[in-house]
Amino acid sequence: MEVSVPAWRRLAGAVTLFLLLAPAPARAEAPAPRVLVLLVPLASPTEAPDPLVGEGLMDLLGWGMGRTFGLQLTEARAVTAALEARQTAWGAPVRPAVAAEVARGLGAGAALLGTFRLEEDRLALGATFLDLRGPGVREEAFSETAVPWAEGSRALERMVRALAKFLGVTLGPAGERRLSQAFQRPTPAAAALRRYATGRATLRAGTTEGLEQAADAFAQAGEIDPAFGLAFFRQGEAHEAASSRWRAAGAYRRAIHVDPAFAEAYKSLGDLLAKSPRRLYEQAVEAYGKAVEADPDYADAYVGLGDALSATGRFDEAVREYRRGLGIDPLNPRVHYSLARILYTEKGLYHEAVEAYQRALTLEPTFVEAHIGLGDLYEEKGLYREAIATYRQALALKPKHPGALYALALAYEKVSPKEAVARWEEYIKVASELPGEKEWIDIAEQHLKKMRQKAVEQEKRR
């Protein structure tokens, strides 16, 4: 793969490390430039629309778009808030002018406004595409297509391909394969899709108590349509978010049982095993290996595999996997994030690690973990003010992120015991609502006690 010098200049040290530790990949396809796309529930023009079907179809559409290298989706919660601010309910038809305004406000370069109609056992799908990358708005219609319900997935696939063509995004052979894989299953039963959409809506609300409700909705969707592997996968995600690790593992395995080529389920299972308190890294390596086997173009799976190998001390092998992921998708921020960690922790290359974190954040400014990782580097070098500013950037994106709150409290211990007290209190309050944080709360309370004493002593000296 030819890569221009400017694109790699900031990662010169990383490239040198790659050349020393790993052979060149056999194949490396450069993905098309990413276009951020606003996606909302498909709307029904009839008087009695079914918003759950519209949201379910939107999610299937988004699942396929997310597997391409050139199309990236706006975050659903941000879209919901932006629409509500314009008195447009989630699931209601969105006028092109409103969609363009919302999309631009969220930094999106395009929008897809889909429609659907139910005709007994047939599904009619249409859409309007908007290209917002220029000073004006370029618009194109995707003519309504009526197909048997079971073939709805293929109609959604054609819609994604038409959008990519409209936007000038070249999918490439790898993107073509991944897109076809995403839509190879028949459209799930309408009743299953409604339960699935209920689960997605509950998750989007962002409440802790809603996680188990969402998991139940996904499970019910899978019971209605046992071939609906994506429903079991989402069930696993909901259980994992609720810190029910082994229930999550069971759901991921159910998804794999339904679809043995479900690469994302293998990858999520690997993530779960790697994060397990028992640190099941070898089992994680096996799961990531199956993800790569199922989808050789899945860059995030190479990242997971590299992380698991690194955790077992196989650093050269880890870098090899990161390089494979980078060869597939150079614009993948998670590859640069994992590379940054190994560059510093195992190779001691501070400046190269900072540049890799910054590259990840250039590609995905909302990447909270990359902000935290960069802050950790600054803190280790004694740059406490810079670390605090970076942790605050992470918290501006996700105010209740326990890792960022914990790191911020530690950094403030070096510069302001009084402020550290406030930050530890904030962390403990947030973490007390999260089942997986208990052991960290015990440590935080020890820090809080120490900082309170320090703050009192500092006040006396004044």
What's the pLDDT score for residue 11? 34
Mean pLDDT of 381-388: 94
Locate the DSSP E strands across 41-104. 71-73
State the pTM of this model: 0.81
pLDDT > 70 fraction of the chain, expressed in percent and rounded: 91
Cα angle, residue 97 at apex, residues 92 and 98 outer, rounded to 5°: 45
Rounded to an integer, what distance in angstroms lies between the CA atom of residue 364 and that of residue 357?
A: 10
Which residue from 205, 206, 208, 202 is spatially nearest to 431, judged by alpha carbons? 208
In this predicted model, what pLDDT tens digit does every residue of 209-226 receive, in sequence order?
789 899 999 999 999 999
pLDDT at 18 over 70: no
pLDDT in tens, 20-38: 344 434 444 444 568 999 9
Q: What is the pLDDT of residue 33?
A: 63
What's the mean per-residue pLDDT of the chain?
88
- Most confident range, picked from 24-33, 47-56, 307-316: 307-316
* pLDDT reading at 205 higher than 60: yes
Record the tokens describing residue 429, joined without a space. Answer: 């309050």
Query: Per-residue pLDDT for 234 more than 90?
Result: yes
Answer yes or no: is pLDDT of 458 > 60: yes
Q: Which of 32, 28, 333 is nearest to 172 (CA)?
A: 32
In sequence order, what are the residues at sequence separation of 6 or more whose Cβ sits closer than 8 angstroms to the Cβ of residue 404?
A: 368, 371, 372, 375, 391, 394, 395, 398
Q: Could you tell me the pLDDT band of residue 47, with boundaries at 50, 70 and 90? A: low
- Judge contact between 388 and 415, C-beta under 8 A: yes
pLDDT tens figures, 333-342: 988 999 898 8
Sequence letter at residue 443:
I
pLDDT tens digit sequence for 156-186: 999 999 999 999 999 888 889 999 999 988 8
Q: Give 302-323 as a DSSP string.
A: HHHHHHHHHHTT-HHHHHHHHH
Amino acid at 320: R
CA-to-CA distance for 126 and 142, rounded, in angstroms? 6
Using CA atoms, how far residue 395 sits from 39, 389, 392, 410, in Å, is 26, 10, 5, 15
How far apart, in whole angstroms, are the C-alpha atoms of residue 412 and residue 153?
52
121 CB-contact burial (10 Å; exposed 0-12 / middle 13-18 / buried 19+): exposed
| Distance in angstroms (rounded) separating the CA atoms of residues 305 and 184 | 26
pLDDT at 349 over 70: yes
Tokens of 88: 């447009």
Element spanning 126, H or E: strand 122-131
Q: What is the pLDDT of residue 12?
A: 34
Please choose, from the candidates 284, 347, 350, the residue with its C-alpha nearest in 3D space to the C-alpha of residue 311.
284
Residue bearing the bigger pLDDT, 434 or 356: 356
The tens digit of pLDDT for each residue in 235-266 reads 999 999 888 889 999 999 999 999 999 999 99
Q: Over 80: is that where the pLDDT of 106 sits?
A: yes
Confidence of residue 153 (pLDDT cuts 50, 70, 90): very high
Say if residues 381 and 374 touch (Cβ distance below 8 Å): no
Is the pLDDT reported for residue 4 higher than 80?
no
**Residue 19 pLDDT > 70:** no
Kindly tell me if the per-residue pLDDT of 5 is higher than 60: no
Q: Tens digit of pLDDT for each residue in 117-131? A: 988 889 999 999 999
pLDDT at 204: 80
Residue 48: pLDDT band (50, 70, 90) is low
Domains, the chain, with CATH or none? 36-187 (3.40.50), 191-259 (1.25.40.10), 366-462 (1.25.40.10)
Least Cα distance to 65 among 145, 162, 143 occurs for 162
Instruction: Please count the CA atoms within 13 angstroms of the CA of 462 that sit on its side-chain side.
Output: 6
**Is the model's pLDDT at 1 over the cut of 50?**
no
